[in-house]
Structure 1
Amino acid sequence: MLFDSVISTRRSIRGYRPDPVPLTVIREILTLAMRVPSSYNSQPYHFHVLTGDMLDRIRSESVASIVAGSPDAREFRAGQPYAGVHRERQIGVAKQLFAAMGIARDDTARRDDWVLRGFRQFDAPVCIIITYDRQLHDNDDAAFDCGAVATMLVHAAWSRGLGSVINSQGIMQSPVVRRHAAIPDDQVIMKSIALGWPDEAFAANAVVSERRTVDEAASFIGFDD
């Protein structure tokens, strides 16, 4: 794909075919993603690529913990809940997704199932856990760099026909993930990315989330009219 096409057509994918993703393709995607700039070329990120029985065990135990009422156990700071316009945008995309899936506002069962899909990594065949070196835990540049590599990763995947969605539900039970994936203690679990071949019949995959205009997001200073 042309670069502009990859950027403009990529969507977050929440429904996947069960087909496996070849390891060679995942390696290509990671190689591209790691070309992203990082602060002083520090490259603080690590990738833990999970599939098969191990991923299924993580899904099962994470869902069981959530259903049992276990609290959020993310290692990367989550901050305060969104409010104001940020909360409005969060609600806006949820409305788009529920409308596409035909989930009514009062349909508690289907809404709850939708939430649990996130903890199951949307049943994707692959999950990529992004971690960074614990010695950089208080370094905001490290978090910025991990965000950059995640963004590059999902676009590299899209260029090869693979869908993905960056999410936090998959690592909200981080102790479960760490134990099953044998993630070293000197790394902080930051984000998870569901990855696989998009199921074109899954209605939510067609949703294109709304974006602000450039004039709403940018200020231009010192330019001639």
Structure 2
Amino acid sequence: MTYDEVVLGRRSIRGYKPDPVPRGLIEEILRLAMRAPSSMNTQPWYFHVITGEPLDRIRAGNTERMLAGIPQSREFRTGQPFTGRHRERQIGVAKQLFAAMGIKRDDAERRQDWVMRGFRQFDAPVCVIITYDRELADSDDTAFDCGAVANALVNAAWSRGLGAVINSQGIMQSPVVREHARIPDEQVIMKSIALGWPDDSFPANAVVSERKPVEEAAVFLGFDR
């Protein structure tokens, strides 16, 4: 694929085939992702790549704790709930997904099941947990770098025929993730990325989220026109 084909063609994948992903292919993707820009070359990121039984234990633990009403314990700060245009965009993509899946507004059971998919890492065969050193927790550059490498990772995966979705639900029960992914105490859990071969029969995988136009996002100064 060309760069444009990767960027314009990539979608967030929320339904996966059960087929395993070779470790060598994941290593190849990580090598590409780690060429992402890094502030002063600090490269703060770590990747905990999980499949099989350890991932099943994380799925089960996340689900049990959430259904039991245990408050989320995400380690990376969440900030205030979205409002205004940001909330509108959040609702907009949810409407796209629910429409694709045929989930009605009053269908509480299916809406709940959809939410729980996130805590199950979308049933993907692989989950990548991104962490960084706790000593860097006060640095906004660290969060910026980890975001850059996550973006590079999902694009590299797409270029190799794999799908991915970056999500926070999968790491909201951090004690479960930390235990079964064997994450050291000196690292902060930031994000999870579900990874695997896309299931083309899963309706939500066809959803292309809307993007605001360049005219709304960018300000140009000093140009002739």
Q: Shorter-chain-normalised TM-score: which range? A: over 0.9
Structure 1 unaligned regions, length at least 5: none
Equivalent residue, structure 2, for 1:113: 113
Report the residue type matching 1:84 in the other structure: G
One-letter identity of the residue aligned with 1:71: P
Partner in structure 2 of residue 15 of structure 1: 15
Query: Any idea what SS the aligned residue of 2:30 has?
Result: helix
Could you say which residue in structure 2 is the equivalent of 1:149?
Answer: 149
Residue of structure 1 in register with 2:176 after alignment: 176
Q: Match of 1:210? A: 210
Aligned residues between the structures: 225
Structure 2 unaligned spans of 5+? none
Deviation at 1:37, TM superposition (A): 1.1
Matches within 5 A, 1:26-37: 26-37=26-37
2:110 paired with 1:104: no
Between the aligned partners of 1:76 and 1:211, the Cα distance in structure 2 is 25
Paired letter, 1:108: A
- Once the two structures are superposed, residues 65-117 of structure 1 have per-residue CA deviations (whole angstroms, 9 ceiling, x without a partner) of 00000101001001101111000000000000000000000000000000000
**Aligned equivalents of 1:216 and 1:85: distance in 2?**
12
User: Within 5 A, what are the aligned runs for 1:28-177?
Assistant: 28-177=28-177
Shift of 1:174: 0.7
- The alpha-carbon deviation at position 181 of structure 1 amounts to 1.1
Q: Which SS does the other structure have where 2:81 is aligned?
A: coil
Separation of aligned partners in 1, 2:108 and 2:79 = 27
Partner of 2:115, secondary structure, is helix
> What whole-Å deviation, never above 9, does each CA across 1:113-159 have from its counterpart, x for those lacking one?
00000000000000000000100000000000000000000000000
Correspondence for 1:191: 191
Write out per-residue CA displacement over residues 161-184 of structure 1, whole angstroms, 9 at most, x where no aligned residue.
000000000000011100111100
User: Cα offset for 1:11?
Assistant: 0.1
Identity %: 73
